[in-house]
């Protein structure tokens, strides 16, 4: 401790203010190390100087020795070091405020990171959905293209395909409101049950009233299989529709 | 006053205790583990990060070209 004080004193006495400033500048103003280290260093110097001054004063009073110059130098150094310490404390308080601002910024950065990760996850999901949709669309286009070209092994539609088509649906009494008319060869071929057999207006009076719109039975021109003019009388007799005028017996 | 007097020792011990308390207090102060210059660099870096991430988020949000139907 005494060496430190003597170094300070020698610096102050030998080369005056400039040397003193140099020593002070090296330890304080140059900013070597963190603010905490500089504060602790200044505090150590203050403790040493203050103890030294107290001891010098005690010795001089006890021994009645005048050490005014040395005591003054130590006192000046103590005051100066205390000034440095006060400046460092102001700096430390300012750094404390900046530190709080940095903590707030770090929280904001964390939140932004979380938002970015969330968006990335959603983009990945959207990418997967789009990829699946594109693949399915391509497959659909392929099947359409293949359907247009048809199957070279069988260029004509099958019986099942015909019945499932529009014409088949039209002739099906369960799906249409009018008597279904199937090709006569279908019944003749025995492939259809009687329930699906074509029902003509002259076969059933009730059916003619229920199934055909009024005043339009004369519009019904389709002839049943095997029909000929010889049977027109039978047809005419059986029909009770007063509006019927299409038949003309010979 | 004698240099070795008990009053002097007592005063010096009290002074020592005060300085130790000061050291403890300095140890608890936030933000002074770095120099002011280093702290300013860190502050600048953090502000830059926030600005960049805000821009990125804005860019992501503006990428949505179609409305997502609510289920």
| Average pLDDT estimate for A212-232 | 46
Answer whether residue B55 is part of any domain. yes
Instruction: Spell A202-212 as b/e; 16+ CB within 10 A means b.
Output: beeeeebeebb
Q: Is residue B7 a part of any domain in this protein?
A: no
Q: What is the ipTM of this complex?
A: 0.82
Task: Please indicate whether, in this complex, the C-beta atoms of B1 and A61 are within 8 angstroms of each other.
Answer: yes
Is the residue at B19 inside a domain? no
Name the interface residues of A facing B (CB cutoff 8 Å).
31, 33-36, 39-40, 43, 46-47, 50-51, 54-55, 58-59, 61-62, 91-92, 94-102, 105-106, 108-109, 112-113, 115-116, 119, 123
Q: For residue B66, give the DSSP letter.
A: S
Q: Does the pLDDT at position A103 exceed 90?
A: yes
Per mean pLDDT, which of A144-148, A149-153, B12-16 is the most reliable?
B12-16
Q: Which position has the higher pLDDT, A58 or B19? A: B19
Using pLDDT thresholds of 50, 70 and 90, give the confidence band for residue A227. very low
* pLDDT bracket for residue B35 (50, 70, 90): very high
For residues A194 and A173, the model is more confident at A173
In a domain, B30, yes or no: no
Chain center to CA of A247? 75
Q: Do B53 and A113 touch (CB under 8 A)?
A: yes
Tell me the residues of B at the A interface, defined by beta carbons under 8 Å apart. Answer: 1-3, 5, 8, 11-12, 15-16, 19, 22-23, 26-27, 29-40, 42-43, 46-47, 49-50, 53-54, 56-57, 60-61
Predicted confidence at residue A107, as pLDDT, reads 96
More confident residue, A66 or A179: A66
- How many domains is chain B built from? 1
> Element (H or E) spanning A4, and its range?
helix A2-14
0.90 surpassed by pTM: no
Closest alpha carbon within chain B to A37: B33
- In A, minimum Cα distance to B12 occurs at A51
Region A226-246: mean pLDDT is 46
- Predicted confidence at residue A160, as pLDDT, reads 81
Q: Is the pLDDT of residue A214 over 60?
A: no
| pLDDT top residue among A18 and A94 | A94
Q: Flag whether B52 is in a domain.
A: yes
The closest of A40, A71, A39, A77 to A53, measured between CA atoms, is: A71
pLDDT at A236 over 50: no
Distance CA A201, CA A205 (A): 7
Query: Counting one residue from A and one from B, how many pairs have CB atoms under 8 Å apart?
Result: 104
Which one, of A228, A225, A227, A226, lies nearest residue A184 by Cα? A225
Q: What mean pLDDT do residues A84-93 have? A: 96
Radius of gyration (C-alpha) of chain A in whole angstroms: 57
Is residue A91 a contact partner of residue B36, using CB atoms and an 8 Å limit?
Answer: yes
- Within 8 A of A115 by CB-CB distance, chain B residues are 57
Element (H, E) at A16: helix A16-24
CB contact under 8 A, A112 and B50: yes
> How would you class A168 by CB atoms within 10 Å of its CB: exposed for 0-12, middle for 13-18, buried for 19 or more?
middle
B27 is a domain residue: no
Report d(CA A100, CA B17) in Å as an integer: 30
pLDDT of residue A169: 84
A63: closest chain B residue by CA: B2
How many angstroms separate the CA of residue B71 from the nearest CA in chain A? 15
Enclosing domain of residue B57 = 39-64
Rg of chain B over Cα atoms, rounded to whole angstroms, equals: 29
The mean pLDDT of A150-177, rounded to a whole number, is 73
What are the residue ranges of helices labelled H in A64-197? 68-149, 159-163, 166-171, 184-188
- Is A217's pLDDT higher than 50? no
How many other β-carbons are positioned within 10 Å of the β-carbon of residue A81? Answer: 23
- Structure confidence at residue A212 (pLDDT): 44
- Mean pLDDT, residues A24-46: 78
Give Cα separations from B4 to A50, A131, B1, B54 (angstroms): 17, 90, 8, 68
Whether residue B48 is contained in a domain is answered as: yes
Residue A218 has pLDDT above 50, yes or no: no
More confident residue, A28 or B43: B43
pLDDT at position A163: 84
What is the rounded CA–CA span in Å between residue A76 and residue A162?
A: 116
Cα–Cα distance for residue pair A55/A15, rounded to 1 Å = 26
The answer on pLDDT for A119 being more than 80 is yes
pLDDT at A224: 46
Is B31 part of a structural domain of the chain? no
B1-32 per-position pLDDT tens digit: 455 678 888 989 999 999 999 999 999 999 99
Higher pLDDT, A205 or B43: B43
Whole-number mean pLDDT of chain A? 71
């Amino acid at each position: 401790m005494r060496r430190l004080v003597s170094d300070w004193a020698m610096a102050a006495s030998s080369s005056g203010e400039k040397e003193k400033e140099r020593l002070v500048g090296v330890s304080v103003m140059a900013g070597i190390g963190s603010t905490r280290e500089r504060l602790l260093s200044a505090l150590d110097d203050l403790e040493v100087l203050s103890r030294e001054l107290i001891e010098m004063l005690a010795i001089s009073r006890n021994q009645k020795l005048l050490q005014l110059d040395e005591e003054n130098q130590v006192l000046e150094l103590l005051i100066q070091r205390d000034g440095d310490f006060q400046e460092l404390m102001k700096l430390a308080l300012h750094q404390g405020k900046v530190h709080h601002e940095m903590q707030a910024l770090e929280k904001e950065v964390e939140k932004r990171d979380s938002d970015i990760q969330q968006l990335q996850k959603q983009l990945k999901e959207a990418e997967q959905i789009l990829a699946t949709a594109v693949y399915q669309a391509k497959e659909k286009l392929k099947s359409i293209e293949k359907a247009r070209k048809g199957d070279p092994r069988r260029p004509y539609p099958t019986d099942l395909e015909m019945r499932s088509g529009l014409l088949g649906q039209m002739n099906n009494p369960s799906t249409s409101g009018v008597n279904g008319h199937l090709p006569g060869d279908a019944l003749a071929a025995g492939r259809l049950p009687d329930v699906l057999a074509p029902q003509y207006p002259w076969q059933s009076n009730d059916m003619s009233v229920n199934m055909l719109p009024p005043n339009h039975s004369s519009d019904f021109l389709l002839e049943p299989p095997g029909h000929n003019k010889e049977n027109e009388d039978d047809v005419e007799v059986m029909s009770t529709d007063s509006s019927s005028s299409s038949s003309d017996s010979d | 006053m004698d240099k070795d007097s008990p009053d002097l020792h007592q005063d010096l011990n009290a002074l020592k205790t005060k300085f130790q308390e000061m050291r403890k207090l300095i140890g608890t102060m936030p933000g002074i583990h770095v120099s002011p210059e280093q702290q300013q660099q860190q502050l600048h870096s953090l502000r830059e990060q926030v600005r960049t991430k805000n821009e990125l988020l804005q860019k992501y949000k503006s990428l949505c070209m179609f409305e997502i139907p609510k289920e």
